[in-house]
Amino acid sequence: MHNRMITATAVLALTAGMAMAEKSEITVWGWGVAASSLMATVEGFNALNPDITVNVEQMGYSQVKSRVLAACAAGGTGLPDVFQFQNVEMELITAQFPDCAADLAELGFGDDDAAKFPEFKMTALDTGDKIHGMPWDTGPVMMFYRRDFYENAGVDAASIVTWDDFIEAGKKVQAANDGVVMTNDNLNGGAEWFRMIANEQGCGYFTLDGESISINQPGCVAALDVLKTVVDEGLLTAGDFGERLQNSAAGAVATQMNGAWFEGSLRTNVPEDHAGKWGMYLMPTVAEGGPRAANVGGSLLAISNTSDNKEAAYKYIDYTLGTNEGQITMLREYGLVPSLLSALDDPYVAEPRDFWGGQTVWLDVLATLDDIVPAVGTPFFGDADQVMQATQIAYINGEFSTAQEALDDAARQISFNTGLPIAE
């Protein structure tokens, strides 16, 4: 009796599956320009798969994150067929809800597919028994700057090598441009600046094995010191993501430090007469000769286990993320840096960009890829990030005498919250 019921269900599921394959519809959740770029690949995808309708729902980053987590906690109820998630945060899902995302290996993602992406993008997604998602983009950190503001101050961007150079340049830029601040950070709602400089200096919240806390090590201490100096010198004002874009569009800020995916957000949000006025240069470093590359952000696409259209969903993500055509479309339209290795050799990346004053920005961005030190997320990324946000504000407001003292305190708190030891 029991067996017969299972067979009946299987047959039903199969026929349903076949009916779906003829004409199906998938829903995708994504945020900001990432969602826009997904919409941009639909046309190319439909040329190959005319029977699959793709609906991209564009939301804010935290909206996608909290809705996905809540839906995973509810056993997958209410999830779309495909959702975007940040790489550093994915381990939250793989650790707590290992069944939430579908196993891509079952849908056709083999070892040869995994080899098409850099290893650091796959580590969080491959838990050994299962592939939880497909890598999307990376976020090599760049300085996005206003050429005209720098020129007014007689500052040559190429001469900015260390953070001390950046601070000197900032003073000149602010003196020469009325009402312009050197840079912005999401100081009151995130720790991105700290994370970017720390990553550049080879330090992260956790050691690479994810088993201990390394936030109080020298690279992180240096990063916090740089941040405080820039703030103390009056060169940095706070703004969340939307406000930083507004400031950029209003011509009220000279430099934004961010992952290269910021290119599309910036380019599509500033007025048209900004074309040619922006440029990019590498992040400054702490000591001359030091590293000048870091990564921030970078996402993946996952298929939900509760989706009725897994096959169609896989076809879509495989086209969008797994082919040069899909990845280059997103790079061209919205500046998302492919993590698909073969896309990096596409002729498009070597072209000069008019918006960026004729600079071959993608060559400059991609040249940093080899120097990026991986940073692990672990399921405790959120815990650590919250402690760091509080610590950063406390240190800037003078509650600790040294950055080392502040980060020792942060390390103790993270250890207390997560149960992980502090690395020696």
Partner 1 sequence: MRKRNLTAYGFLTPYLAIFAVFWFWPILYSFYLSFLSTRRLPWSWNPGMTWGRIYQDPAFFNALWNTLKILLIQVPVMIALATILAVLLNSRLLKARGLMRFAFFAPVVIGEAAYAAVFRLMFNAEFGIVNKTLGQMGIEGPNWFGHPDAAMAVIIIAVTWRWMGYNAIIILSGLQSIPEDVYEAAKLDNVSPRQQFLYITLPLLRPVILFCIVLSVIGSMQLFAEPFLITNQGGPGGATETLGLFLYRQGFLNLNFGYASAIAYTIAALAVAISALNLWVGRERE
Residues at the contact surface with partner 1, assessed by CB under 8 A: 62, 65-66, 69-70, 73, 92, 95-96, 98, 181, 186-189, 237-238, 240, 243, 250, 252, 379-380, 382-383, 386-387, 389-394, 397, 413, 416-419
> Whose Cβ is closer to partner 1: residue 98's or residue 276's?
98
CB of 263 to partner 1, least distance (A): 24
Is the CB of 72 or the CB of 160 nearer to partner 1? 72
| CB of 418 vs partner 1, minimal distance in Å | 7
Query: What is the amino acid identity at position 242?
Result: G
Which is nearer to partner 1, 25 or 103 (by Cβ)? 103
User: Rounded distance, CA 375 to CA 201, Å?
Assistant: 11
Q: Are 123 and 277 within 8 A, CB to CB?
A: no
Q: How far is the CB of 45 from partner 1 (least distance, A)?
A: 33
DSSP secondary structure of 90-125: HHHHHHH-TTSB--HHHHT--HHHHTTS-HHHHTTT
Taking the alpha carbons at both ends of the chain, their separation in whole angstroms is: 61
Torsional sign, CA 131, 137, 143, 149: negative
DSSP letter string, 20-43 = HHHSEEEEEEEEHHHHHHHHHHHH
Of residues 371 and 399, the one with the C-beta less far from partner 1: 399
Distance CA 386, CA 186 (A): 13
Nearest to 296 by CA among 126, 86, 94: 86
Q: Give the HSE-up count for residue 69: Cα atoms under 13 Å, Cβ half-sphere.
A: 17
Q: Nearer Cβ to partner 1, position 173 or 387? A: 387
What is the side-by-side strand order in the sheet with 134-135? 52-59, 24-31, 82-86, 299-303, 134-135
Nearer to partner 1, 154 or 242 (CB): 242
Between 276 and 382, CB nearer to partner 1: 382
Q: What 3-state class would DSSP assign to 264?
A: helix
Tell me the C-alpha to C-alpha distance, in Å, between residue 184 and each of 8, 32, 288, 386. Answer: 60, 19, 24, 20
Q: CB of residue 209 vs partner 1: minimum separation in angstroms?
A: 15
Q: What's the min distance (Å) between Cβ of 189 and partner 1? A: 3
Least Cβ distance, residue 345 to partner 1 (angstroms)? 39
CB of 125: closest distance to partner 1 in angstroms? 18
